Structures are given as structure tokens and as C-alpha cells.
Chain A
Amino acid sequence: MAALMGNIESSLLNIGYLETLSYQQTPLHRLDPRVKLLTTLVFIIAVVSFGKYEITGLIPFIIYPVALIAVGNLPPGYLFKKILLAAPFAFFIGIFNPFLDRALMVQLGPVGISGGWVSFASIMIRFTLTVSAALILIAGTGFNAVCLALDKMGTPRSFVIQLLFLYRYIFVLTDEALRLVRARALRSFQGRGMGFKVFSYMIGQLLLRTLDRAHRIHLAMLSRGFDGKIRLLRPLQIHGRDAAFFLGWSALFVLMRWYNIPHLLGNAVAGLIR
């Protein structure tokens, strides 16, 4: 149980850490959030649009997360752990490919690799690239600024507000859940009281508390003149370096998408040797 509590607490702290990272003042952090959001989107689209057996073409894309981690002074180890946390999802999406797709694709000496394994590897690489790009976006921009960028770029306001509220209250909610878990752990002995039945009561309890809080928040909003519209006040400005960031990276992504650079390099080297 102590382990579980430790888990909840530390993962909570980690969300806060992602937020702390976004307070830094580096060239990456100073960029306009819209530019970073758009560049991340282009990156993700480029990575995802490759054919299902592609591996070599994906490799050069690693330069984007690596460069941003360096410029943005982000801790690679921490980000890697976050990626691992989400890895099981991608793993279970891809893990059946080797069983379904057994046709041999690559022959490496005595070992034959089936198409299934190749596509599985491709899925894992794509997952790593896209998730790291998304994490870097948040760590280098801040969740609120990303939402602001979404808003300025014409995402429906209600959707943006939902996201903002989600982020604002996830801390309060986890706190509340943590208190419930603690209260139970402290009065449970020899596994009694830790059963599923009590757990379901706790979930219900948490839902009721959440509804109560939502009601109180709504009252607080009404008290300050809320009329169904949320007005955000924060000007954003695109500078030359923002445009350069977006255009430079996008051009590189397009290039890497159309030309298989490792392939070209390999051919060039082979040509030289010959």
C-alpha cells in the first residue's frame, strides 16, 4: 500500500515538475507558443504519414527532440521515463503484428525478420518520436500557453476552456483522491478494508465531491459576472525568430519525409567506395 501511495504522490509531483520546466527562460521557451504548437503538429504529421514498414526514414527525425532538449535545457532522463509510462499503449497496439504478418522481409545473415516485427519496430519508433515531441511542447511552453495558442488559432473556445479547467483542477482532484486513499490506508489492517467494494465507494465519493466543487466554482464564477463567455487577456506576437523556427523545421521535416536521408547517404558512401 505504501508503494501505491508513493506512486500516486510521486506521479503528482511529476506533473508539477513538467510545469516547473516550462518556467525556464531559454530560447525555446521564449518562442511564441503558436509556433511551437504548429511545428509539433507538422512534425507529428510527417512522422505518422510514413508507410507501415518504414524504419530508416524515421531515424533522422530524432534530431528534432534532441535539438529541442538541448536548447530548452530539458532533462532527457525525466522525459524518457514519461515516455516509458505511456509505452504500454503503443506496445499493445503493435505487439500482434509479428504474429499476423509472418512474411519474411529482411534477411540479416542467418536471421530472417518478418514484416510483422518491422512494422512493430516502426510503431514503437513513431510512438517515441511523437510522444517526446508532445512532451517537449508542454515542457518548453507550459500547458496554459499551449491552450492559449490553441485558442488564438481558432480552436472552439469551449474546448479550450475545458482543457484549461481540466488542468487547473487535476491538482485539486488528485489531492482529494490522495486524501481518500490515505484515510483508507490508515484504517485498514491486514488487507481488510482494501477490497474492491470500498474502492467503488471511494470513486463514488470522489464523484460526489467533484460535483459539489463544480457547483461551488460555478457560483464563484457567477458572483463575478460570468455570462457564459470566458475572456482571456493576453496578447501574443510573432517575431522573426518565431517564423524562422517554424519555417526552418517544417522545411527539414518535409525534406526528411520525401527523401530517405540514411538511404541517400548509404548510396553516396557506397558510390564513393566503388
Chain B
Amino acid sequence: MSHHLVEVKDLRYTYPDGTCVLRGVSFRITHGEAVAIIGANGAGKSTLLLQLNGCLLPQAGAVRIGDFPLNKKTLPYVRRTVGMVFQDPDDQLFMPLVYDDVAFGPLNLGLPLEEVEARVVSALATVGALHLKDRPPYRLSGGEKRAVAIASVLSMSPSILVMDEPTSYLDPKTRRHLIELLQTFKHTLIIATHDLDMVLDLCSRTIILKDGQVIADGPTLEILQNQELLDSGSLEKPFRLQGCPLCGTKSDASE
């Protein structure tokens, strides 16, 4: 289906203070793909994500979501199609109760009340947080906040899910649950992260950004084993691909 398409062409962006963050980024993500965007701090990952649902508009180049180029007129369509999960759940959960928060998007879409209700319940159930619906967000643990933040986006039934560092601040078990949850999604998934082990589990394709440019774009397994490439992007192999400290073998030796 073409409305799950994300296409970025020669995208450039400079912040008002003169920091040039994106210097000609291009890629094309098709329906159902799970793509990781990785790179050093300040490589432009977050800025790139903000471009994908029109929080920032391109200064040069173009973003295309589905059948529409991203511009001021297509913003409502783009925002309905691209669900964005922000890095800090406290930024995303701004309503007084969890229920209100998950209902916020559907209500803004102008859906009938029964439909809103049904969507809220099903979104919360998907992330296993239905029991939290009458709690205020500031009373939730980090993992619960994350789950609700994802539900608040799922309730809008986006075709494309964009996430900024979904596993930050999570304890290992909660992180594992989140990964398992994301594995069940049929959405097109775009994740910016430093958690390369999660990338290994979740994303078949990886894009490396460096200084606002794409330096690699290909199958995750190939890219994450390419030591030279990872070095140049200030990255490291995922822990599971590194040597075992107990048996003392180095993964490089086996290659």
C-alpha cells in the first residue's frame, strides 16, 4: 500500500542558531519495513524524526509520506499517518488522566465518541496498560509511562510509527517487554536509537547517520558487523556480536 511509504529526498535543515544538522539525507522506506536510524550524538537523528511528521518543515529537499509531499497543506494527513513517540514520555503525556491522554488524538480527529472509547480501550489493551486508565500520568513508573505514550499514538491508528529512543530509561525486563510488543506490530516502524541490541531484534534494515548525512543504508546484520563502518559513525558492535568476557573469545577471531 502506497500510504505506508516514507520517502526523503536530499533533505537539508539548519537550525536558526546556524547549526547545520541535516546535509542532504535521502532514503525510501516501504510498507511494513522496520528501520533503525543510528548514529552518534548530534548526528541529526532527532531532527530527522521531527521532519517526518512535520514538526519541522524541510528547508531544502522533500519529504513524502504516502501519496502526499509534506507541506503545510498536507500536515493534518501526515500527522494522522505518522505516529510519533517522543523520547521523554513526560512531554507526551500532558493530559490529566491516562484515559484523556490516549483519547486526545482520536478526539482531535473528530471521531464519534463510541469510536474514541473503543480505540482508547484497544490501544491501552495492546500495550497492556488498560488498568492504568484512570491514573494521572505523573503517578506512573517509567515503563508504564512509556507504554501509555505508545498507546496514545496507537489510538490514532497510524500506518507509520516513529519512535525516538524507545528503550531509554527502561529496566532490562521492561525493555524486553517493549521489544516483544514492538515485534508484534505490523506498522512501518522507524526507530532512532543507541540501543543496537534492540536494533538487532527489531529492525531488518539500518541507516547510519553521520554529521547530517547517510553513510550507510542496508541490512542490519551486514551493517552491524562492519567494524570499519561502525567506527566511522562513532558506534560499536551490539553486545551480542562482541566477544564473551567469560570464555574470552573475541568475535573478531571467529570471523
Cβ of A251 under 8 Å from chain B: no
Could you tell me the distance in whole angstroms from the C-beta of A139 to the nearest C-beta in chain B? Answer: 15
Once the chains are docked, how many angstroms separate the CA of A80 from the CA of B121? 41
B138: nearest chain-A partner, CB-CB: A171
Interface residues of A in 190-217 (CB under 8 A from B): 213, 216-217
Q: Select which of B90, B96, B105, B116 is within 8 A of A224 by beta carbon.
A: B105
Stretch of B25-33, B106-114, B180-188 lying at the A interface: B106-114
Cβ of A67 under 8 Å from chain B: no
CB-CB under 8 A from B92, the residues of chain A are: 220
B113:A216 contact, CB within 8 angstroms: no
Q: Which of B90, B96, B100, B107 has the most CB of A within 10 A?
A: B96
Once the chains are docked, how many angstroms separate the CA of A223 from the CA of B50? 10
CB-CB under 8 A from B53, the residues of chain A are: 223
B84:A168 contact, CB within 8 angstroms: no
Stretch of A47-55, A227-235, A237-245 lying at the B interface: A227-235
Could you tell me the distance in whole angstroms from the C-beta of B154 to the nearest C-beta in chain A? Answer: 11
A147:B96 contact, CB within 8 angstroms: yes
A168:B96 contact, CB within 8 angstroms: yes
B136:A217 contact, CB within 8 angstroms: no
Cβ of A225 under 8 Å from chain B: yes
Interface residues of A in 154-188 (CB under 8 A from B): 164-165, 167-169, 171-172
Cβ of A221 under 8 Å from chain B: yes
CB-CB under 8 A from A71, the residues of chain B are: none
Cβ of B76 under 8 Å from chain A: yes
CB-CB under 8 A from A231, the residues of chain B are: 104, 107-108
Could you tell me the distance in whole angstroms from the C-beta of B22 to the nearest C-beta in chain A? Answer: 17
A145: nearest chain-B partner, CB-CB: B96
Could you tell me the distance in whole angstroms from the C-beta of B109 to the nearest C-beta in chain A? Answer: 6
A223:B84 contact, CB within 8 angstroms: yes
Once the chains are docked, how many angstroms separate the CA of A220 from the CA of B55? 9
Chain B, residues 99-127, CB within 8 Å of chain A (1/0): the string is 01001110111000100100000000000
Cβ of B230 under 8 Å from chain A: no
CB-CB under 8 A from B138, the residues of chain A are: 168, 171-172
Interface residues of B in 142-172 (CB under 8 A from A): 152-153, 156
Cβ of B91 under 8 Å from chain A: yes
Chain B, residues 43-60, CB within 8 Å of chain A (1/0): the string is 000000010010100000
CB-CB under 8 A from A171, the residues of chain B are: 138
CB-CB under 8 A from B100, the residues of chain A are: 232-234
Cβ of A97 under 8 Å from chain B: no
Cβ of B86 under 8 Å from chain A: yes
CB-CB under 8 A from A213, the residues of chain B are: 90-91
A221:B80 contact, CB within 8 angstroms: no
Cβ of B137 under 8 Å from chain A: yes
Could you tell me the distance in whole angstroms from the C-beta of B124 to the nearest C-beta in chain A? Answer: 14
B153: nearest chain-A partner, CB-CB: A224
Once the chains are docked, how many angstroms separate the CA of A213 from the CA of B87? 12
Cβ of B244 under 8 Å from chain A: no
Once the chains are docked, how many angstroms separate the CA of A227 from the CA of B110? 11
Interface residues of A in 224-268 (CB under 8 A from B): 224-227, 230-234
B97:A144 contact, CB within 8 angstroms: yes
A170: nearest chain-B partner, CB-CB: B138
Cβ of A86 under 8 Å from chain B: no
B76: nearest chain-A partner, CB-CB: A225
A-B contact pairs, 30 of them (CB 8 A): A144-B96, A144-B136, A165-B94, A167-B96, A168-B96, A168-B136, A169-B94, A171-B138, A172-B90, A213-B90, A216-B86, A216-B88, A219-B55, A220-B94, A221-B94, A221-B104, A222-B79, A224-B105, A224-B108, A224-B152, A224-B153, A224-B156, A225-B156, A227-B108, A230-B104, A233-B100, A233-B107, A233-B113, A233-B116, A234-B100
Binding site for A on B (CB under 8 A): 50, 53, 55, 76, 79-80, 83-84, 86, 88, 90-92, 94-97, 100, 103-105, 107-109, 113, 116, 136-139, 152-153, 156
The 6 closest A-B pairs by CB, nearest first: A225-B108, A224-B105, A144-B96, A231-B107, A216-B91, A171-B138
